[in-house]
Amino acid sequence: MKLSIALSLLISAVSAAHESMAMPSVTSSATSPTATSEPKTGGDIDILQYALILEHLENKFYREGLQKFGEKEFKDFGLDSKTVHDRFLEIASHEETHVTALNKTLTSLGANPVPPCEYDFGMTDAKAFVSTARNLETIGASAYLGRVEEVSTNAYKTVAVSISLIEARHSSFLNTLNKLSGFGNSFETPLSARSVVTLASPFIKSCPFEIPIKGFPALKLNRMSASAYDELYFSKSNATYCSFSVGLTSVWVEVKSNTTCVVPETVFGDVFVHLTSDNSTLLSKDTSVVSGPALVNIKMSEEMMKKMKKDEYLVSSGYVLKTSLFTAIMAILFM
């Protein structure tokens, strides 16, 4: 009965959101409470509020971006102007639907949905808009995946996975626009809440409420794209390792001279880099994180390409999932 009620609430919220979005417009506003409202916390409500904070950010990003950049700006950037602009309108409508659905669901649960914050996306041209959109959607997919196991109500868990998949589709499309692989790895990368807040914080100027999750110190690298064996430079740190998180695994590389680490051969695609004090699993032991993450797109090395062609990749890179781990993942997603 509990599951059925929860699912009904979400279906109603999503249906209402779709009805209100019948004529998508990036200039319309999602319903939100007054700026003095304080969000409730606890259990699934806390996680839904966290999701709403992220969806507000994405929703505002697309509304601002599409007010600044139209078909002409996309054409100047070298893109198929009308097609790309139309796809961005679709993505914007998805994000607004997410905001509307989460608002309605939280209200129906007796919670006070968090309002939008004030943002600064630093968009100076269409190129910056497309690049930032790619980053936000990649982070969004990992954000939902990282917290889905904490959701106790099956209906909300299903919705979280559903939204995560849509964010991943957006990310794939945007990777392609940025001339990157649309599907770099076999598994998406889950991120802890603190890691997500770290990545979102640079875009947030202020909020009319206190974000309950504290991020890590920011990690600024010398490059946002790299290849195997490239050196990544950062400000002097007392970290012992660079952790390269991709898919369901992490690869740790020792920090050199307190300022450098080398990209390992076995990681590629969208990779989240943390500086850590030890080589523990990030999601289960956030205390090992010194700073980060930073999102870096890493090109597959020629050596890895050859290994994949010879069917050696899964074994050589340590990406083989044991049956017990696979069973655990399925249990988390569908319990």
Residue ranges covered by each domain of the chain: 2-206, 225-334
Cβ-based neighbour number of residue 50 at 10 Å: 23
Residues 6 or more apart in contact with residue 278 via CB below 8 angstroms? 240, 241, 288
Whole-number pLDDT of residue 35: 41
Residue 169 exposure: Cα atoms within 13 Å on the Cβ side: 12
What is the model's pLDDT at position 277?
A: 94
Assigned superfamily of 2-206: Ferritin, core subunit, four-helix bundle (1.20.1260.10)
pLDDT at 1: 42
**Exposed, middle or buried, 287 (CB in 10 Å: 0-12/13-18/19+)?**
exposed
Nearest by Cα to 161 from 174, 148, 151: 148
The answer to whether 150 and 238 have CB atoms below 8 angstroms apart is no
Tell me: domain 225-334, CATH 2.60.40, correct?
Answer: yes
Question: What does each of the 335 residues of the chain score in pLDDT, given as a tens digit?
Answer: 444 444 444 444 444 444 443 323 323 333 333 344 444 557 899 999 999 999 999 999 999 999 999 988 888 888 877 889 999 999 999 999 999 999 999 999 999 999 999 999 999 999 999 999 999 999 999 999 999 999 999 999 999 999 999 999 999 999 999 888 888 788 999 999 999 999 999 999 999 999 999 999 999 999 999 999 999 999 999 999 999 999 999 999 999 999 999 999 989 999 999 999 999 877 667 889 999 999 999 988 777 777 766 655 454 444 444 444 444 454 555 55
By CB neighbour count within 10 A (0-12 exposed, 13-18 middle, 19+ buried), where does 289 fall? buried
